[in-house]
Amino acid sequence: MAVGLKNIWVLSRKAIDQRFDRQFGVNTSGRVELTELTIECGRRQSGVYYEPTPRRTFFQILRSLHIEYSRFDFVDFGCGKGRTLLMASRLPFRTIHGVEFARELADEARGNVQRFVDPRRACFDIAVSCADAANFAIPDRPVLLYLFNPFGPDVMKAIVGNIEDALERGTPEVLVVYYHPLSLDIFEASPYLECVARRRLVFDLASPQLRGYAVFRGQRARAGRRPCA
């Protein structure tokens, strides 16, 4: 009986997760392990498998920010097959950029961007780079960096260092949206980043588990740091 209920739950979750793909004729759902993929940088070990952010969760988080999207570039570090890029294009971001180190996933993301037709689309400037997120140059304009638990502490530390350098160089505003934030301490330790929102659990039928998120705002070195409450 319990096994039957579990199967029903897994199948319903899968169906909800695939609804986005059926609606837009794209391929963004499912989990993909990194073992068989082509990754040319030496970071495979710290990378986390591909799994897309559920649609409902993504919009719930983005809408909670209350920002003027058109002021920001959107960057997803570890964009996988690019579902976040497609979803973000419904909001009027200045530009949208996905960074993915596995070649097959980056190619799939580019194909999805080309196939995606949505009458509610508000941003058409979307690019995908096949690269290590640790080497991505953070733009010198207001930027929203999106992370869904993409990699371990080594790459996360490099990203935080890049954010700090960008702020020192004069990037006016950096917002970090960190979904399923397993390396929160690295962000909290930065004198440049302030935790402005933290939700421990977000319920979404399409997600295999309850996950939370944190939002950080980057500014040039702050006097008093405040960890996530």
> Minimum distance from CB of 149 to ligand SAM (Å)?
5
> Minimum distance from CB of 5 to ligand SAM (Å)?
27
Q: What 3 state SS string does the chain have?
A: CHHHHHHHHHHHHHHHHHHHHHHHCCCCCCCECCCCCCECCCCHHHECCECCCCHHHHHHHHHHCCCCHHHCEEEEECCCCCHHHHHHCCCCCCEEEEEECEHHHHHHHHHHHHHCCCCCCCCCCEEEEECCHHHCCCCCCCEEEEEECCECHHHHHHHHHHHHHHHHHCCCCEEEEEECCCCHHHHHCCCCEEEEEEEEEECCCCCCCCEEEEEEEECCCCCCCCCCC
For ligand SAM, give the closer residue by CB, 112 or 149: 149
Please pick, from the candidates 113, 128, 155, 228, the single residue that binds ligand SAM as defined by CB under 6 A: 155
> Minimum distance from CB of 158 to ligand SAM (Å)?
9
75 binds ligand SAM (CB under 6 A): no
Q: Which stretch binds ligand SAM (CB under 6 A): 19-27, 50-58, 187-195, 217-225?
A: 50-58
> Minimum distance from CB of 196 to ligand SAM (Å)?
20
Q: Is the dihedral of CA 9, 206, 47, 213 positive or negative?
A: negative
Distance, in Å, from the CA atom of 79 to the CA atom of 88, rounded to the nearest integer, reads 12
Q: Which stretch binds ligand SAM (CB under 6 A): 16-24, 48-56, 61-69, 162-170?
A: 48-56
Q: Which of residues 82-141 bind ligand SAM (CB under 6 A)?
A: 83-84, 99-102, 105, 132-134
52 binds ligand SAM (CB under 6 A): yes
Distance, in Å, from the CA atom of 109 to the CA atom of 137, rounded to the nearest integer, reads 20
183 binds ligand SAM (CB under 6 A): no
For ligand SAM, give the closer residue by CB, 152 or 172: 152
Please pick, from the candidates 18, 27, 34, 197, the single residue that binds ligand SAM as defined by CB under 6 A: 34
Tokens 């971001």 belong to residue = 93
Cβ contact 155:133 at 8 Å:
yes
For ligand SAM, give the closer residue by CB, 52 or 218: 52
53 binds ligand SAM (CB under 6 A): yes
The residue nearest ligand SAM at its CB is: 78
For binding to ligand SAM (CB under 6 A), which residues are involved?
34, 43, 47-48, 50-53, 76, 78-80, 83-84, 99-102, 105, 132-134, 148-151, 155
